[in-house]
Amino acid sequence: MPNAHATFDRLADHYRQIALLTSIESMLGWDERCLLPPAGGDYRAEQMTLLAGMVHKRLTEPWIGDALGELAGTDLAADPASNTGASIRQWKRQYDRKVKLPQSLVEELARIGVLGQQVWEKARRDDDFAAFAPILTKIIELKRQQADALGYPECRYDALLDDFEPGELTSNVARVLSGLRAELVPLVAEIAASGRTPDVSLVHRPFPVAQQAALGHEVAAKIGFDFARGRLDTTAHPFCSGLGPHDCRITTRYDAAYFNSAFFGILHEAGHAIYEQGLRPDWYGLPPGETVSLGIHESQSRLWENLVGRSRAFWQHFYPVVQTAFPQSLAAVPLDAFYFAINDVRPSLIRVEADEATYNLHILLRFELEQDLLNGDLSVPDLPAAWRDKYREYLGLEPANDAEGVLQDIHWSGGAIGYFATYSLGNLFASQFFAQANRDLGGLAAQFARGEFAPLRTWLAEKIHSQGQCYTAAQLVERVTGKPLSHAPLIAHLREKLGPLYGL
């Protein structure tokens, strides 16, 4: 046993050093998307390539495999949910995957991901898919190589999905999303047939950016984002980046004539950040101090954005604050009218601005398109037309241009293929977690109306954040709620909230 402890400590020190390197990668990534001059992209790509190669080399050193073999039968590994057991389990899983990837491929994926995002940003700004197509074609080919090197149980997409949602299968996600779609489509149709529509012009008025920024800062702090350990900046595509145990950064983008974009974007990214800030800092860089999956991560952002931030109770507390911030636009607008406007349900073109009821349809079509790209059933030049076809099929709309169509998301440009499904999984996790928190805490609405968000934040930290990777996502949701993941809580939430608004 003493030798086992020494071996574990050696591995822990090694992975903490790797965490330092990956935090530097994250810092460069944040800088790239917030502050990097346009001409600095090529050299940033070289920096990221070097770091990716260094990290990969350290993750695949042969002695790691030997050390994990020594620990496999010891008491330290006996309980897979303990701090040591989870660490050994996750290190083994990661090592077995990483050793299959050639270092040259890892480095090229890092390089092309930086360049791809640079090309995408300009292409989106110029509405020029043709300028983006060549590098996207290269990215798709590299991701095929990655999937083939890793191997997969059923299809290539499994290998890439596993990076974001460990242990999940494409077939299971397709089954879950298909079941969700079967209930969402009739709900959206009922809403459309209700004859009720809110006055959405109420949120399309002048909202000066300076006041939006101040309000966003205030609300993020109120729900629990610690600005002593984080900051809020602007970028082309909002994101959250954890750079260390006490450095988590969120970003947003502002529209001076639209309230929802920045406000709910800040709530969303703050939700991600509260998860990061709720991890155990003494285990930073090791599995008990890391997030379990992107689906669980997304559940935290969608929970604060939608289940809290679009609730009536939330606005009973915050609406006077917002009216004070924007007196010319909202002082004479009743709370009920504003609340209906921010919960408007109608098909739309932009994923990040979609309502709760139609959002998952945006995810489903992306999930299908990226599978087709990876399998070779869809070529990159044909992607814009396929995108338009899917939007007509799923949402009854067609983008007027590629900037509001196939170029709207940053993910594929950075090589994040297999990512989109985690958004819908996050919505499902969020609703199930929230329903349980509501039962455990004895009525969240009354607390929100009083401006009390700490009880929910503390519950999330205890039940989810502090658990790190000690449980898989599937184990965690069943441990917290007593039931496996289901779409029923999300449908119940939508019907409970939207029913009174639309007379369903």
Give how far Cα 470 sits from Cα of 90, 163, 271, 283, Å: 9, 17, 21, 12
Buried (b) or exposed (e) across 385-412, using 16+ Cβ within 10 A? ebbbebbeebbeeebeebbebbbbbbbb
Q: Do 114 and 63 meet the contact criterion of CB atoms below 8 Å apart?
A: no
488 Cβ contact list (under 8 Å, min separation 6): none
SS (H, E, C) 335-399: HHHHHHHHCCCCCCCCHHHCCCCCHHHHHHHHHHHHHHHHHCCCCHHHHHHHHHHHHHHHHCCCC
CA distance 252 to 238: 5
Q: Burial level of 450, CB count in 10 A (0-12/13-18/19+)?
A: exposed
Give how far Cα 409 sits from Cα of 178, 236, 237, 416, 420, Å: 23, 10, 8, 11, 10
Catalytic residue among 25, 107, 121, 269: 269
CA distance 422 to 172: 12
149 Cβ contact list (under 8 Å, min separation 6): 100, 101, 102, 105
Nearest CA-CA partner of 139 in 405, 377, 382, 411: 411
Concatenated DSSP letters for 415-461?
Answer: T-TT-THHHHHHHHHHHHHHHHHHHHHT-HHHHHHTT--HHHHHHHH
Q: Which two tokens stand for residue 276?
A: 């990061």
Q: Do 250 and 230 meet the contact criterion of CB atoms below 8 Å apart?
A: yes
CA distance 469 to 290: 6
CA distance 231 to 80: 35
User: What single-letter amino acid sits at 100?
Assistant: K
Q: Do 76 and 88 meet the contact criterion of CB atoms below 8 Å apart?
A: yes
Nearest CA-CA partner of 368 in 181, 121, 113, 151: 181
| 356 is a catalytic site residue | no
Give how far Cα 163 sits from Cα of 128, 153, 334, 354, Å: 30, 14, 46, 26
Q: Rounding to the nearest 10 degrees, give the CA dihedral for residues 137, 139, 140, 143.
A: 160
Q: Do 329 and 341 meet the contact criterion of CB atoms below 8 Å apart?
A: no
Q: Which two tokens stand for residue 165?
A: 């949602």
Catalytic annotation, residues: 269
